[in-house]
Amino acid sequence: MVQKIQSLCMKCQGHGEQISPKERCKSCNGRKIVQEKKILEVHIDKGMKDGQKITFHGEGDQEPGLEPGDIIIVLDQKYHAIFAPLEDLFMCMDIQLVEVLCGFQKSMSTLANQTIVVTSHPGQTVKHEVIKCVLNEGMTIY
């Protein structure tokens, strides 16, 4: 009687190769994989939008014989209490009737901590829900 049995190799655990204990790497012990932390710097350009992706090609987990994956960073925009980012940067400002008739000067602080003065001259008509534009002080377009 002849019998054929297959079983897992006790020395290589089925990986198909043996590395002698003298030649094994001290940090991975012959497994060919080392746990390592790597710091990636993410540069976020001015004007990037919510949900925009930044990809680091080939920076994912790496193993022998496999192509390394990508790391994808998805931006999650934090909303501001005063400013609303649409195509331009909007801010609602309440003004009194006296200010509408006699003119006003109101200062506001920008996101870059600069002070901008919004003015309306006496006799200038200010209608309900009018939009005043301050040029070159909004969000940068990506």
Of 69-73, 104-108, 126-130, where does the model show the most confidence?
69-73
- Does the residue 112 lie in any domain? yes
- Does the residue 83 lie in any domain? yes
- Does the residue 117 lie in any domain? yes
- Does the residue 18 lie in any domain? no
- Does the residue 111 lie in any domain? yes
Query: Distances from the Cα of 4 to the Cαs of 7, 10, 19, 122, in angstroms?
Result: 10, 18, 27, 103
Nearest to 105 by CA among 116, 113, 114: 116
What is the pLDDT, as a whole number, of residue 53?
Answer: 93
- Does the residue 73 lie in any domain? no
The residue range of the domain holding 90 is: 79-142
**Of residues 60 and 11, which shows the higher confidence score?**
60
Q: Which residue's entry shows tokens 């939008």? A: 49
Is the pTM above the cut of 0.85? Answer: no
What is the pLDDT, as a whole number, of residue 107?
Answer: 85
Query: How many domains are there within the chain?
Result: 1
pLDDT in tens, 25-72: 777 776 777 788 888 898 888 778 888 999 999 888 887 778 888 999
Q: What is the largest CA-CA distance in the chain?
A: 113
Nearest to 71 by CA among 54, 83, 86: 54
pLDDT in tens, 67-86: 888 999 999 888 777 666 65
- Does the residue 104 lie in any domain? yes
- Does the residue 125 lie in any domain? yes
